[in-house]
Structure 1
Amino acid sequence: MSTSDEVAEVHSSMVKPGERILDMTAGLGIDSLHFAMKGCNVTSIELDENAAEVLRNNLSSYKNVQVIHGDSVEWLKESRQHFDTIFIDPARRDSSGRHFLFSQCSPDISKSLPDMIAHCDRILVKASPMIDLKSAIRELGIDGCNVIVIGNSRECKEVVLDIRKDISDKPGIECITIGRKSYSRCNTDPDTCNNYRIPITGNILMQPFPAVMKGTGGNVDGYDKLHPFTHLYVADNLDVSFPGQQYIIKDVLPFNKENIRKFKNAYPKINVVARNFPLTAPELAKKLKVQEGGDTMVFGATVYDGSRVLVITGGPIS
């Protein structure tokens, strides 16, 4: 999948100036470009001849980039070069559809990983945001790796597996929301046992960013949660360190027939979210007979005593 400039900038932040980088799936070169701009010495390999020619033209002004047309897996087998970092973005789509297993992608790094490890100190593997992390690590046959989850305030963009020959510390998960402070934890740590509380009017409702939801399963240390499986948090005041969106709670209503009947008159146009709720967001909107949109939010959620509530908030304030 092609990379945006802002995501490629995150990739380049993972390496140091002067590193020798091999980009095994260069495409049109957005990642190679950002590595080159960082001051790395980049070898970019592209299988498609036309794309390789475009790549060569795109990067012609950078003397620290070598562009090669060919099969990067076969090239690496014949190479005696050693790289600080190999970056690879296996193609996840073909004529049969979208794939999530590495063995179904091209190239198949589940087969070529030993060769790659023999030629570098570190491998950065760009993977689908839908990937199952435990299954992916098991498929690659590695003991563990650092995981970087990249997203914005609306969606998780991708997962990067950071595979190193020697991980001196415990493998960790870093959740990067572009333009925000990242959130990190050790990926072998047990899930935190949070305190639980029912939100009330005037509280701050907190929703983790998509990258945090992907990387940690929605578990954020040190905050009061609505329910063990409701990944929403509540606080008395705005907390700038929380890795997610925050909303001022305007009202909290029990999810019952009376409030369902009255809801449309009070909030004819509202954005609907469902978290650990028996209805999906579209189903809840239909049940409440509301039109989605505007600056107000309603979160259908289960709280720690098992009851269901409708939490009405303003739009995000952070």
Structure 2
Amino acid sequence: MNNTILSSEFQDYLKSIEHEDFKKIVLKKSPFESISSAEIAQQLKGLQVSKYKFPTLYKTKNIFFPPSINLEQASSEATANYKSSIIEGKTLIDLTAGFGIDTMAFAKRFSKVYHIEKNKELSEIVKNNTSILTPNVDVYSNSFQDFFEQHSELKFDVIYLDPARRNSGGRKFILEDLEPNILEWIPTFFEKSDKIMIKLSPLLDISLTLEQIIHISEIHIVALKNEVKDFLILLDKNNTLKNPIIKAINLESNQTNFQFNFFDEIDAIASYGSVSKYIYEPNVSILKTGAFKLVSEKLNLTKLHQNTHLYTSSEIMNEFPGKIYEVEHEIRNPKKEITKMKANMLVKNFNQSIDSIKKKFKIIDGGDTTLIFTQSMNGFHILKTSRIY
């Protein structure tokens, strides 16, 4: 870690070039004798990324930014703050802490937080940043296995980890691919804490996860602006039921959270029917939970088809957690009515792919109209709609 980067002279310079292209900076001669062009570009990219991904870092002086890969792998500040809001206690250990965005969020709610990271350079960077923002963080540069051996007496209110995936090939994502292998380590973790929170890949299946891991008390599917970011499982040593609370959250939206217990979806009874005045598309966090029947039952909406995850009603439900479309009319003669139309497209359980439809009718992306291609219990439909929410 080059501490010259923290000098007021360089920090002022960094702010002065904030809007320049960091890729071009690499090709220019550095105006600093002890700071390379590559280092300037790294800090500039970090500053630019932080403006939207880690706004607290962006607003704070003397923050040291890591290489690009660590910026990309780090949680956003919004998702980190959400993680910290669903657990509590006095002490927490982050076993795979990386750039420390989650760690710093936890440190705002816990008295003592341990940041464990094998990458020594990254640990030095985190040590600098936490000394400014969250001095109650203890940074340890080594593996969590070594930390446990050297501090065997320590217990924690919560253990948190975000395991890496060992296999980068095309094989289906499985829990056994994680590093560390949580299936092997969970018993050891429970010797250190009664509560564990693990961030998993959104690609994992919830049912399969419940089959492989016991003691799961809660599952949180967290989206940010309708893009799934986190699949969080909360383990409680005292919980042996396989009926966890499941929460679907869409951060930075006005949508309400959708919550249920795992068996609720199994027991739910959906109502099915054809298209009415309004069409509802659940946000991605709800779709990931698989609560397709429950959306119909809990929100009193009609599901178009068993395999169509769109819903309908004659009266608008403004608080629906997702997108709402008002049906203007059903397209009866698509060749005449929609050829070369400028419109957005939503294709759900239709007998043609979106690419083939666009090509067939020469549809141009954009505009205020949304064409919905879907299937109800009464057959296939092409709907001309306008987006309300």
Who is 1:159 aligned against?
231
Preserved CA contact (<8 Å) 1:3 1:30: yes
Who is 1:188 aligned against?
263
SS of the residue corresponding to residue 314 of structure 1 reads strand
2:102 is the counterpart of 1:28: no
User: C-alpha displacement at 1:89, in angstroms?
Assistant: 0.5
User: C-alpha displacement at 1:95, in angstroms?
Assistant: 5.8
Greater share of strand residues, 1 or 2? 1
Preserved CA contact (<8 Å) 2:329 2:383: yes
2:124 is the counterpart of 1:124: no
User: C-alpha displacement at 1:239, in angstroms?
Assistant: 1.4
Preserved CA contact (<8 Å) 2:79 2:224: no
Who is 1:211 aligned against?
285
User: C-alpha displacement at 1:217, in angstroms?
Assistant: 4.4
Who is 2:207 aligned against?
134
| Aligned pair partner of 1:301 in 365, 374, 382 | 374
Q: State the Cα deviation string for residues 261-313 of structure 1 (Å, max 9, x = none).
A: 12334x611111211122232232223321222222111111012x1001221
User: C-alpha displacement at 1:135, in angstroms?
Assistant: 1.9
With over 3 angstroms needed to count, the CA separation of the structure-2 counterparts of 1:284 and 1:80, relative to structure 1, is farther
Who is 2:130 aligned against?
59
2:318 corresponds to which letter in structure 1?
V
Q: Larger Cα Rg: Structure 1 or Structure 2?
A: 2
Who is 1:288 aligned against?
361
Q: State the Cα deviation string for residues 160-219 of structure 1 (Å, max 9, x = none).
A: 01111123884111001113321001102225222222224xx12111000000013434
1:293 corresponds to which letter in structure 2?
G
2:384 is the counterpart of 1:312: yes
Whole-Å separation in 1 of the counterparts to 2:267 and 2:323: 21
TM-score by length of 2: 0.73
The 5-angstrom pairing of residues 22-101 of structure 1 reads: 22-61=93-132, 62-78=134-150, 79-92=152-165, 96=169, 100-101=173-174
2:275 corresponds to which letter in structure 1?
P
Whole-Å separation in 1 of the counterparts to 2:77 and 2:217: 25
Whole-Å separation in 2 of the counterparts to 1:50 and 1:139: 35
With over 3 angstroms needed to count, the CA separation of the structure-2 counterparts of 1:66 and 1:281, relative to structure 1, is same
SS of the residue corresponding to residue 271 of structure 2 reads coil
User: C-alpha displacement at 1:136, in angstroms?
Assistant: 2.4
Q: State the Cα deviation string for residues 79-102 of structure 1 (Å, max 9, x = none).
A: 221111111101136665787222
Whole-Å separation in 1 of the counterparts to 2:204 and 2:168: 20
Q: Any gaps of 5 or more consecutive residues in structure 1?
A: none
The size of the alignment, in residue pairs, is: 307
The 5-angstrom pairing of residues 96-107 of structure 1 reads: 96=169, 100-107=173-180
The 5-angstrom pairing of residues 217-296 of structure 1 reads: 217-219=291-293, 220=295, 221=298, 222-254=300-332, 259-265=333-339, 268-296=341-369
Q: State the Cα deviation string for residues 245-276 of structure 1 (Å, max 9, x = none).
A: 1111112235xxxx2312334x6111112111
TM-score by length of 1: 0.89
Alignment root-mean-square deviation, CA:
2.2
Whole-Å separation in 2 of the counterparts to 1:153 and 1:204: 22
Whole-Å separation in 1 of the counterparts to 2:215 and 2:107: 31
Whole-Å separation in 1 of the counterparts to 2:290 and 2:167: 30
Who is 1:13 aligned against?
85
Whole-Å separation in 2 of the counterparts to 1:282 and 1:37: 47
With over 3 angstroms needed to count, the CA separation of the structure-2 counterparts of 1:182 and 1:72, relative to structure 1, is same
User: C-alpha displacement at 1:153, in angstroms?
Assistant: 4.3
Percent identity reads: 28
With over 3 angstroms needed to count, the CA separation of the structure-2 counterparts of 1:153 and 1:282, relative to structure 1, is farther
Preserved CA contact (<8 Å) 1:127 1:160: yes
Whole-Å separation in 1 of the counterparts to 2:357 and 2:267: 30
